[in-house]
Chain A
Amino acid sequence: MSTPMNKLLIAVAAVAFLGVAPPAGAAEAPEVPEQDWSFSGMFGTFERGALRRGLQVYREVCASCHSLSLIAFRNLGDVGFSPDEIQAIAEEYEVEDGPDDEGEMFMRPAKASDRFVPPFANEQAARASNNGALPPDLSLMIKARKNGANYLYGLLIGYVEEAPEDVEMMEGMYYNKVFPGHQIAMAPPLFEEAVEYADGTEATLDQEAHDVVTFLAWAAQPELEERKRLGVKVLLFLIVLTAMLYAVKRKIWSDVH
């Protein structure tokens, strides 16, 4: 490659890099702390203990405001919950069914095939109970934010009691370090001992945030483990096949020239 071309490529790389860095002065959300997640990397899997604890945090804390509409109780079977456990969890919820033979709707305990029951009947009810703000569904939250897992972790541990002095807080808003604009309508949902873990793990804020993020990462991409497992096999196969194709290509072309 000629040198001017090299210079150009460097220029291209520099521009591309600049493009990645947010323009100075833009009101972007600040950096979020990068965490080690059991589900990142080529061989990542969801740590089962964290998943179970995360489910507990979701059910005991977040579920009073946030729905999880894409997950059915039966899905928990994919990550090691036994049919009995799933049955027991489902039965704690009531769902509307019907109409029955008299044409009446009726309530019954949820079954494994039902989805997690939303806390509010509709958007208006949700807003009415939350100062006008809408708690979003959490099923896809990890995929619906840039750098989702780290962002959500940062959000949950990112509350500050006292907003910086130059910030004028709006009525009913809480200061959060990573939320865009820093004013969020969700009160700090997690704190020390917000739950008492069934497995005896100490419920620090950090632990709770970490666990619920792991659970929600699973809820957003329940195919992740299968995807990565299959991916490793497929790529290994393709690499060997392609190497052999290269050898054949060399062989066939060896008589040219």
Chain B
Amino acid sequence: MEAKTWKNPVIAWIDDRLPVFSMMQAELVDYPTPKNLNYWWNFGSLAGIVLVIMIATGIMLAMQYTAHVDYAFESVERIMRDVNYGWLLRYLHTNGGSMFFIVVYIHFFRGMYYGSYRAPRELLWIIGVFILLAMMATSFMGYVLPWGQMSFWGATVITNLFSAIPLVGEAIVTWLWGGFSVDNPTLNRFFALHYLLPFIIFALVFVHLWALHVKKSNNPLGIDVKGPQDTLPFTPYYTIKDTFGLGVFMIVYLAFVFFAPDFFGEPDNYIKANPMQTPPHIVPEWYFLPYYAILRAITFDIWFVSAKLIGVILMFASILILLFLPWLDRSPVRSAKFRPIYKQLFWVFFADCIILGVVGGNAPEGAWVPIGQAATFYYFAHFLIIIPLLGKFEKTRTPPTSISAAVTHGGIGTKVKEAAE
């Protein structure tokens, strides 16, 4: 960290004792960033902002919300009807949840495409996977809070999964519920945890950024920064680019909030939870649908292992496998730009995830069963077969020697250069 002399005496005094200003200067202003980042690199900072929006709106909702099975549903409706701008807070929070996943999924696929998980950023990637897991737990428990039909039945179905664990399964489920069904104790602990987890996510994000700032950003070419000619100071270049991206994001996000606030929601969740009446289709929120498809893909026991247990294992494995991606991929180059086959198979994998999502949204019957099984198989094959094989056999193209070389030789910037000449 470069010691900087501050003109303002108060700032200088503080900085001498606790160098927060020097740190901000180094990490937010001078921070050298590859000059060739495209707009897919906006989604990390967007995710951070959405997290802050979620925490801010969540805390304000919590001030009005009642975590009790007899009052939760009504208290959410009171927020919607009687609290000043309560409807805005709630729709910001609900749609914010969906937006959070959209942003994070894009962020994640960006990392896969450009090989951002590769050395030396493995730990950064792994922290990201843990953030994703924590987000899932958070939103799953948040979805239970309004205590609608889907809240209740979703919670029942998902917590019941643990009963597939041999011997101790039933005991674990009872322990999770705090009773013999999803009931008031369950709602209370879910609220407590839903309030807690976002702050854990916040801490994880901090570590994620710390790791990022040690090894710095990857870039679309996937090559290392060779020197100052390859980078730009974060401020003003990327602060303005991120701010512009935020503007575009807010237009999309708020268009949903104001004009289609229930777009991502399930109508059934506007019916108060009723333990005596199972809804015809129990579906989780859209961002869980691919995992839900994997969970239900297995319809047969293998030896003594029940289909249900295999489904549960595969569902968790589908996320945990991401932790190993940095070591499964042995390709000599990072970016898909220089990997002609991976570049296409990346999109096949993306399509596979969409197909899994569609399967997850449909009842597990008819053609959906084999489609779900094939898509589940492909999901794992992508990581366990395709990626390792590609690393060995794919003929990669040679990336340019440096970012600035690419920028001047027929890359970005040539037009500007020509115009200047």
User: Residues of A with Cβ closer than 8 Å to B?
Assistant: 2, 4-5, 8-9, 11-12, 15-16, 18-19, 23, 25-26, 42, 70, 75, 136, 139-140, 143-146, 148, 180, 220, 222-223, 227-228, 230-232, 234-235, 238-239, 241-242, 245-246, 248-249, 252-254, 256-257
Contacts and interface: CB of A to CB of B under 8 A. Distances in A.
Nearest to A247: B244
A257 B358 contact: no
Contacts, number: 124
Given A8-B348, A241-B247, A257-B412, A70 B258 contact: no
Contact of B258 (A222, A235, A248): A235
A140 B247 contact: no
Contacts of B255: 231, 235
B182 to A, nearest CB: 20
Nearest to B78: A70
A227 B91 CA distance: 10
Interface residues on B, range: 35 or more
Contact of B247 (A12, A222, A238, A256): A238
Contact of A238 (B236, B250, B270): B250
Residue among A148, A220, A231 with most chain B CB within 10 A? A231
A4 to B, nearest CB: 5
B18 interface: no
B251 A238 contact: yes
B304 interface: no
B270 A15 contact: no
22 contacts: A2-B344, A5-B347, A8-B350, A12-B350, A16-B358, A140-B271, A144-B271, A223-B80, A227-B258, A231-B259, A234-B258, A238-B251, A238-B254, A242-B244, A246-B244, A246-B247, A253-B237, A253-B240, A256-B237, A256-B413, A257-B407, A257-B416
Nearest 3 pairs between A and B by C-beta? A231-B258, A257-B413, A242-B247
Nearest to B355: A15
B247 A245 contact: yes
A239 B244 contact: no
Interface stretch (B6-14, B361-369, B394-402): B361-369
B271 A23 contact: no
A239 B247 CA distance: 8
A242 B362 contact: no
B267 interface: yes
B223 to A, nearest CB: 18
